């Protein structure tokens, strides 16, 4: 299955950085670790859905610098990035902090009654 469609089915049309809901046609794919011409970075474990403003703001910025610029981005990435590589998940979790990680994981659980 195509990665974009898989992410839309898994997380819905929600930006992994700001958690804003966007129309499915308006959401973009973002390389968490900028690809810089390397195909290995086109894998699912390096791609998230991002709204156009967040994708443009991040551009080729390192993910660590981008997440440190606004801690809530790391919290959102924990919530919408369960498919990411262990290294990227651990980085986001460390930046977000343990309490926010627990909250993000609860909200990511489809059976959690207060997710909306």
CB contact at 8 A, 14 and 47 = no
pLDDT for position 98? 86
Average pLDDT over residues 35-55: 84
Q: What is the pTM of this model?
A: 0.84
Question: Mean pLDDT over all residues of the chain?
Answer: 89
Q: Which residues of 63-96 are buried (b: 16+ CB within 10 A; e: fewer)?
A: beebbeeeeebbbbbbbbbebbeeebbebbbebb
Domain ranges of the chain: 3-108
Domain 3-108 belongs to what topology?
A: DNA Binding (I), subunit A (1.10.30)
Residues 69-113: pLDDT tens digits?
A: 999 999 999 999 999 999 999 999 999 998 888 888 887 777 766
């Amino acid at each position: 299955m195509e990665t974009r469609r898989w992410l839309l089915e898994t997380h819905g049309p929600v930006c992994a950085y700001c958690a804003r809901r966007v129309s499915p046609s308006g959401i973009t794919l973002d390389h968490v670790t900028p690809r810089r011409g390397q195909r290995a970075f086109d894998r699912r474990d390096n791609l998230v859905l991002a709204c156009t403003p967040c994708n443009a703001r991040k551009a080729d910025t390192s993910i660590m610098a981008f997440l440190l610029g606004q801690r809530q981005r790391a919290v959102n990435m924990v919530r919408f990035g369960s498919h990411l590589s262990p290294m990227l998940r651990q980085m986001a979790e460390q930046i977000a902090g343990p309490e926010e990680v627990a909250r993000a994981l609860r909200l990511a659980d489809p059976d959690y009654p207060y997710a909306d």
